């Protein structure tokens, strides 16, 4: 720990440290993981001992949010340092490589700084990447994302099981193996190892032992109220899409089965995280390795009559973010300040003494890593499609849609955002203050080729 603290001081203050003196980085991305972790206490059914173990090692951000509630643009924003209204990558299908140049990515900065940069699994959309930004990237040749013969709707809309599925049948197992080899061996240069875990992304398919840990008869539905969309403006109702997945689950009666499958898949991911932590802690690199774990966005399972991501409420914008920085973070601490994933790029640059490119937006959270109670007046901003934004603080969430529709929630008193108070006259000033954080200019939505 003394070594990394000395290295941080030297890197950050003088900028003259050799690459070998810089800390390693284990960069863990998890797909579609909401805040159903045991230590976050959002869902009492969650069983995530290894996420909790990592939280005990450093700082958990309990009010962290995505830049975009969709895989492709969320990852593009984080890895490029550019918000969607700057890059133009707003939604899935916007093809992130059209909005981020080769050499702009976070990994490229570490490569230029003399790091050995290795990646595995889903860091950008799918396993796409720029070869020039990595020393090496794991191939998925011969590997199945979800295992052999897997039905795409297992445990979700249909009652399909795969009793012979093994832990090693899923791609995530092999991504973790690949990363373990690279974080445990002695090296003469620091490493930046990015481990992208697909689960709990659909399909919710993992070995049956993980489902067995959550008997269907014990499953609880998430807190919800009837007619939750009654006070939501038309733009919000369209985004919720209550006649889609939610209507299907109400008709099929599989709401609890879907929750069981999600919990099981999260527990599989927790197992793989434990394998990474076991390997690092047994290695000579443990005391000189920063861990940054994040999920690309949240996931809704019926709250506000909505499923999946693709919305601007708490369950969809909320992400998991845990940092462990030896010599800087205090074990087992929490930070309730509002932050978003745009903080990751500048924070890692500051921690490792790497220059931050001018195009990178977002704010370094090093002051919060050092002191989670440090003053902080910057909200978390989430965008879903051009003109649709959420501004989140510790006290409120404000949503403004492209057509001018608004929502406002007093989240301190209403954590599940059941009461929209945007139409109350006394809240006019609050809405205006939040609106000042939103962009005055946004690049156009990219054109897409129409299907023939």
Other beta carbons within 10 angstroms of residue 430's beta carbon come to 18
* E-only strand ranges, 198-304: 289-295, 300-301
Q: Residue 257, by phi and psi: left (phi above 0), alpha (psi -120 to 50) or beta?
A: alpha
Query: Cα separation of 22 and 52, whole Å?
Result: 27
Q: Are 92 and 331 in contact (CB under 8 A)?
A: no
Query: Cα separation of 39 and 333, whole Å?
Result: 11
Pairing state between β 396-400 and 389-392: antiparallel
Alpha carbon 153 to its chain's center: 23
Residue 212: phi, psi to the nearest 5?
A: -60, -25
CB burial string 273-312: b at 16+ within 10 A, e below: bbbbbebbeebebbebbbbbbbbbbbbbbbbbbbbbbbbb
Other beta carbons within 10 angstroms of residue 160's beta carbon come to 14
Residues carrying an active site annotation: 71, 125
Q: Closest Cα to residue 117, out of 97, 139, 136? A: 136
Residue with tokens 């109702």: 237
Look up residue 86 and give its two tokens.
């700057």
Ranges of H-type helices in 15-57? 49-57
């Amino acid at each position: 720990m003394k070594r990394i603290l000395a290295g941080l001081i030297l890197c950050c203050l003088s900028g003259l440290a050799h690459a070998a003196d810089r800390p390693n980085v284990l960069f863990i991305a998890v797909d579609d993981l909401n805040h159903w972790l045991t230590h976050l206490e959002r869902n009492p059914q969650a069983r995530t001992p290894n996420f909790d173990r990592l939280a005990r090692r450093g700082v958990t951000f309990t009010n962290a949010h995505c830049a975009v509630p969709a895989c492709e643009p969320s990852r593009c924003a984080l890895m490029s340092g550019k918000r969607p209204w700057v890059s133009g990558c707003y939604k899935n299908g916007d093809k992130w490589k059209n909005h981020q140049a080769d050499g702009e990515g976070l990994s490229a900065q570490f490569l230029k700084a003399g790091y050995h940069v290795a990646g595995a699994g889903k860091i950008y959309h799918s396993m796409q990447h720029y070869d020039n930004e990595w020393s090496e990237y794991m191939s998925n040749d011969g590997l199945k994302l979800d295992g052999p013969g897997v039905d795409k709707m297992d445990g979700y809309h249909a009652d399909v099981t795969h009793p012979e599925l093994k832990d090693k049948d899923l791609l995530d197992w092999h991504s973790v193996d690949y990363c373990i080899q690279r974080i445990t061996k002695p090296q003469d240069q620091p490493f930046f190892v990015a481990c992208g875990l697909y689960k709990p992304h659909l399909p919710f398919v993992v070995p049956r032992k993980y489902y067995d840990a959550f008997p269907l008869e014990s499953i609880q539905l998430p807190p919800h109220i009837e007619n939750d969309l009654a006070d939501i403006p038309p733009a919000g109702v369209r985004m919720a899409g209550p006649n889609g997945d939610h209507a299907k689950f109400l008709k099929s009666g599989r709401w609890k089965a879907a929750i069981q499958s999600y919990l099981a898949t999260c527990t599989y991911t927790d197992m793989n995280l434990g394998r990474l932590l076991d390997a690092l802690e047994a290695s000579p690199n443990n005391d000189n390795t920063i861990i940054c774990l994040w999920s690309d966005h949240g996931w809704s399972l019926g709250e506000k009559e909505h499923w999946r991501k693709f919305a601007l409420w708490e369950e969809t914008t909320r992400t998991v973010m845990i940092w462990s920085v030896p010599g800087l973070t205090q074990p087992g601490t929490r930070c309730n300040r509002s932050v978003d994933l745009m903080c990751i790029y500048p924070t890692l640059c500051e921690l490792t003494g790497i220059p931050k490119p001018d195009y990178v937006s977002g704010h370094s959270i090093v002051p919060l890593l050092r002191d989670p109670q440090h003053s902080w007046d910057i909200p978390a901003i989430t965008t879903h499609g051009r003109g649709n934004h959420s501004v989140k603080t510790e006290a409120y969430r404000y949503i403004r849609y492209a057509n001018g529709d608004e929502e406002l929630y007093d989240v301190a008193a209403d954590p599940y955002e059941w009461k929209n108070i945007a139409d109350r006259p006394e809240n006019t000033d609050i809405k205006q203050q939040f609106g000042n954080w939103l962009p005055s200019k946004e690049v156009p939505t990219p054109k897409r080729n129409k299907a023939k």
